Amino acid sequence: MSRFSNLGHRLYQGEVSFDFVGRRKLWYSISAAIALAAVIGLTTVGLHLGIEFKGGSVYTIKKPGLTISQAQDSVDKIVGDSTPQVQATGDGQIRIQVSAGEKTPSNEVVQKLSSDLSVSQENINTEVVGPSWGQQVSQQALTGLVIFLILVTAYLAIAFEWRMALAALVALIHDLVITIGVYALVGFEVSPGTVIGFLTILGYSLYDTVVVFDTVKENTKGLEKQNKLTYSEAANAGLNQTLVRSINTTVVALLPVAALLFIGGGLLGAGTLNDISLALFIGLSAGAYSSICVATPLLAQLKEQAPDMRALAKRVALRRAADAKAAAKAAEDGTALDDADDESAEGPEDSVPVGMVGQRNQPVSRARGKGRPSGKH
């Protein structure tokens, strides 16, 4: 049996422990660097909003053998630039998106596409999305996200406490910023499916965080009545108890998402799968990281600032100092005792000069006849 086969049991029993809470500065630095890159991507590149958010026209062409490059070249010549998006739908059709800012009328685009690609106009399906409808979709998506965050914060504040609610909210925002930043840097289109992916990953991240917080709550119940562990140490123990479960859950969830993203969207060319699969893949990874390395360390940091936890930390420090002092004194006494035993083991003959015979210690004679009859009558 491998020595790692019972790692989860050893973590739960406290035989093995990783100091996640004690290294919170390292995790904060990593999160800050990733979040900074995401913010830079958002400010410089920006999100590539889909047709549902900014409005425009969608042309779906059905023609066997038509390639994405052929459709891209044709529509670029029609609109005069390379802003239109062309992708395969997975069912043998080509989908072309033209933003609402283009001045070319949709009927003219259909005519030119039909002529350039040698396809009848009946095989070109046209959908026009107005900018007002796209703005409405954006507002509704943002409203839903805000309501979700408010409800999550209220639930955690009632079920646990406000510090746990704040730590979980920071972790959720952390996951959201990273996912949106990756979308901006990669250049994937943000569609309604992407919004669904965002809400899904936030729910998953919250679930993972609540599982960890529930174990931390059990480990820290009545903690102020003892003087052996601080809150950070007890919280870190709870985090280690759920570590293997969090990792296993994340890996199992990432496997089908990775299949959608890399096989379905990458190898098979089903570009519509990328909208939701990328959000899920990045969000699940960030959610597992934040629940372990952000939420719990931040909770411990907030909790350690409470007066009762400060007093507990002082009592723990005093006890450990007293134990260390007692151990040092015991070690000194043990060393002195060992030295005395070594001197007594040398014997008195070691002090007699060479060539001289020292006094020989005679054994104490036994009173053999004491209490016995003499044998004489």
pLDDT (average), residues 247-253: 85
Same domain (yes/no): 96, 186: no
pLDDT on residue 51: 73
321 lies in some domain: no
Residue 130's nearest CA partner among 51, 77, 188 is 51
Domain stops at, among 113, 129, 145: 129
pTM of the full predicted structure? Answer: 0.70
Same domain (yes/no): 140, 276: yes
**Residue 29: pLDDT above 90?**
yes
**Cβ atoms of residues 209 and 291 within 8 Å:** yes
Same domain (yes/no): 156, 275: yes
**Cβ atoms of residues 137 and 52 within 8 Å:** yes
Tens digits of residue pLDDT in 223-246? 888 888 889 888 898 888 888 888
Same domain (yes/no): 206, 274: yes
Specify the higher pLDDT residue, 93 or 215.
215
**Cβ atoms of residues 239 and 20 within 8 Å:** yes
Domain stops at, among 96, 129, 162: 129
Residue 193's nearest CA partner among 54, 289, 45, 49 is 49
Same domain (yes/no): 161, 286: yes
Same domain (yes/no): 162, 301: yes
Same domain (yes/no): 117, 82: yes
Same domain (yes/no): 191, 216: yes
Residue 78's nearest CA partner among 52, 120, 107 is 107
Domain stops at, among 99, 129, 159: 129
228 lies in some domain: yes
The neighbour count for residue 69, using CB atoms within 10 Å, is 9
The neighbour count for residue 90, using CB atoms within 10 Å, is 15
pLDDT on residue 264: 64
Report CA 47 to chain centroid distance, whole Å.
Answer: 24
Tens digits of residue pLDDT in 260-311? 777 765 555 555 566 778 888 888 888 888 888 999 999 999 999 888 888 8
pLDDT on residue 376: 47
Same domain (yes/no): 82, 179: no
pLDDT on residue 45: 80
Host domain of residue 185: 23-48+134-314
Residue 345's nearest CA partner among 337, 355, 334 is 337
Indicate which CATH number applies to the domain containing 241.
1.20.1640.10
Radius of gyration of the chain (CA): 37
Residue 167's nearest CA partner among 219, 200, 206 is 206
Give the 3-state secondary structure of residue 65: coil
| Structural domain count, the chain | 2
Same domain (yes/no): 40, 86: no
pLDDT-derived band at 12 (thresholds 50, 70, 90) equals low
**Cβ atoms of residues 316 and 229 within 8 Å:** yes
**Residue 125: pLDDT above 60?**
yes
